[in-house]
């Protein structure tokens, strides 16, 4: 375990939050360290957004501790170090994009210059347009500009790339990498596993208000021992399924996909049974598979980071 919280930019300790009968957070520990991109993954209702709302001081925990820059998130000084992009937000319709950026910049002690903020978010072409006239994806880009324009040391992004086209997403990814390189920390919740895979220094997987796993992307992947074996083979599906290492096997067209606890012995058996086997491919489960498996069984033992 690392020394809890020392130097952490933001921290939840044993945070609990209920909404009526629903438990949104059930004793969540979470900390954001300097210069890291932390991806928080989890299915809908896992408590990701609630965790961020607590860290921003938008909601009060029923139990547990919340710290932002070592202070209460209600402290204006703490929030001056934070930029935020929320999942659902309405901005004043009648203002132009440039107006909104100017207005939000004014809240921060040492913001980016207007032009820097606009360029980093890739919204140069939108500056003069009324916010209300923008498409959903463009609005997300503008919200991203508002999140970064204050030169925050800590950035909370709640599903930032939802609705973005490929180019806009690439731009945002590049900017996120650059911000971390320049010393910022980022907390990113996402549904896109590949986003966490591409960007995250560290991943926390949540389910049912709890943290069920945490670590680097490869650590999370390795939590799941399953392997994928794909090939074109004449061996009958029931035969494959009967092998002890095989968890599941499916056939689509002429292609067979096998999920197994161990790849080597499955491959040995396959080759022995079918010398004409072709297009053999073996890979370790990706983060997506790991994620699916982990969230299926939230009771899985707590993994240390």
Partner 1 sequence: MSDVATKPAVPAMPLGRTVAAYLSDAKWESIRLFRTPAFSIPILAMPILFYSFFGIVLAGKSNIGELANNLFVGWTVYGVMGPGLFGFGILVAVERNQGLLTFKRALPMPTGSYLASKLMMAYVFAVVVMAMLVTIAVSFGHVTLPMAILVRMAAVMSVGVIPACAVGLFIGAFAPASSAAAFANITYLGMAFLSGLFFPLSGFLHSIRSVWPTYHLSQLARASGGMTSEGEPLVHVAILAAMTAALVALAARKLSRRG
Q: Interface with partner 1 includes 197 (CB under 8 A)?
A: no
Structure tokens, 41: 């993954």
Complex with partner 1: residue 255 or 304, whichever CB lies closer: 304
CB 85 within 8 A of CB 52: no
**Contact between 89 and partner 1 per CB under 8 A:** yes
Q: Which of positions 138-157 make contact with partner 1 (CB under 8 A)? A: 150, 153
Residue 297: CB minimum distance to partner 1, A? 31
Q: Which own/partner pairs from 55-62 qualify as long-range (CB within 8 Å, at least 24 positions apart)? A: 55/10, 55/12, 55/30, 55/156, 55/187, 56/82, 56/84, 56/156, 59/17, 61/12, 61/15, 61/16, 61/17, 61/25, 62/16, 62/17, 62/18
- Collapsing DSSP to helix, strand or coil, 186 comes out as strand
Residue 277 touches partner 1, criterion: CB under 8 A: no
Distance in angstroms (rounded) separating the CA atoms of residues 147 and 181: 17
How many residues form the binding site for partner 1 (CB under 8 A)? Answer: 44
Going by the DSSP 8-state scheme, the letter that residue 156 receives in this structure is E
Applying CB under 8 A, does 110 fall inside the site for partner 1? yes
CB of 286 to partner 1, least distance (A): 33
> Encoding tokens for residue 137?
């994806």
| Residue of the chain from 20, 21, 44, 94 that contacts partner 1 (CB under 8 A) | 94
Q: What angle do CA 189, 193, 195 make, to 5 degrees?
A: 70
Binding residue for partner 1, selected from 99, 230, 262, 293, defined by CB under 8 A: 99
- At its nearest, how many Å lie between partner 1 and the CB of residue 303? 21
Q: Binding of partner 1 at residue 76 (CB under 8 A)?
A: yes
Assign 40 to helix, strand or coil. strand
Q: Which of residues 33-52 bind partner 1 (CB under 8 A)?
A: 34
**Interacting residue with partner 1 among 54, 104, 120, 196 (CB under 8 A):** 104
- Contacts with partner 1 by CB under 8 A lie at 3-7, 9, 34, 56-60, 67, 69-71, 76-82, 84, 86, 88-95, 99, 102-104, 106-110, 150, 153
């Amino acid at each position: 375990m690392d020394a809890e919280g020392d130097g952490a930019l933001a921290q939840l300790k044993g945070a609990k939050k209920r909404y009526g009968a629903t438990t949104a957070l059930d004793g969540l520990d979470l900390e954001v360290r300097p210069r890291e991109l932390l991806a928080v993954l989890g299915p809908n209702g896992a408590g990701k957004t609630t965790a961020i709302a607590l860290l921003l001081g938008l909601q009060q925990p029923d139990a547990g501790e919340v710290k932002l820059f070592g202070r209460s998130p209600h402290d204006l000084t703490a929030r001056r170090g934070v930029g935020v992009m929320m999942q659902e937000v309405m901005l004043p319709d009648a203002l132009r994009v440039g107006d909104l950026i100017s207005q939000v910049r004014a809240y921060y002690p040492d913001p980016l210059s207007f032009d820097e903020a606009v360029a980093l978010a890739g919204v140069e072409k939108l500056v003069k347009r009324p916010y209300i006239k923008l498409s959903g994806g463009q609005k997300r880009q503008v919200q991203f500009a508002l999140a970064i324009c204050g030169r925050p040391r800590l950035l909370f992004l709640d599903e930032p790339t939802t609705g973005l086209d490929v180019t806009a997403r690439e731009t945002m990814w590049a900017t996120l990498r650059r911000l971390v390189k320049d010393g910022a920390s980022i907390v990113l919740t996402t549904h896109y596993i590949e986003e966490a895979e591409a960007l995250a220094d560290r991943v926390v997987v949540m389910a049912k208000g709890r943290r069920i796993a945490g670590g680097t992307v490869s650590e999370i992947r390795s939590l799941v021992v399953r392997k994928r074996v794909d090939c074109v083979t004449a061996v009958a599906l029931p035969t494959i399924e009967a092998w002890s290492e095989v968890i599941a096997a499916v056939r689509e067209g002429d292609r067979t996909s096998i999920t197994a606890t161990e790849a080597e012995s499955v491959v040995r058996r396959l080759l022995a049974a079918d010398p004409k086997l072709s297009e053999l491919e073996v890979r370790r489960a990706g983060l997506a598979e790991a994620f699916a498996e982990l969230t299926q069984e939230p009771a899985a033992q707590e993994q240390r980071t």
